[in-house]
Amino acid sequence: MSDVLKFIRYRWIVLLIILLAFGVIILFLLSDVTIEQIIKSIEFISGYPGLSGLLILAVSPIIFLILAGSLVFFIGILRKKLS
């Protein structure tokens, strides 16, 4: 029984992280700020001019994993509800 409770607890944590990520993406899409402006401001604050390429390489897989994970999560919920 405790394994079931741990699974439910971790599932809610994952769901909250996914919803937070979608909220950030939606706020980003609704605002006038571009990715280039964000990267340039991070470069300016950090003082490293070549940081933009590293940021793009680091952030792109994270966004892909969040979107793919949420898709798998919601497909799992739909399969469970339909069967």
Total number of domains in the chain: 1
| Domain ranges, residue 46 | 2-82
As given in the structure block, the two tokens for residue 73 are 């999560």
Q: How far apart (Å, rounded) are the C-alpha atoms in residues 33 and 18?
A: 22
Q: Where are the beta strands (DSSP E) in 1-83?
A: none
As given in the structure block, the two tokens for residue 9 are 């607890």
**Mean pLDDT score of the chain:** 73
Q: Residue 43: which residues within 8 A CB-CB, separation 6 or more?
A: 49, 51, 52
Q: How far apart (Å, rounded) are the C-alpha atoms in residues 64 and 72?
A: 12
The pLDDT tens digits of the residues spanning 10-48 come to 777 777 777 787 777 777 777 777 777 777 777 777 676
pLDDT at 2: 59
**pLDDT for 67 beyond 70:** yes
**Sorting pLDDT into bands at 50, 70 and 90, what band is 82?**
confident
Instruction: Give the rounded percent of residues in the chain with a pLDDT score beyond 70.
Output: 71
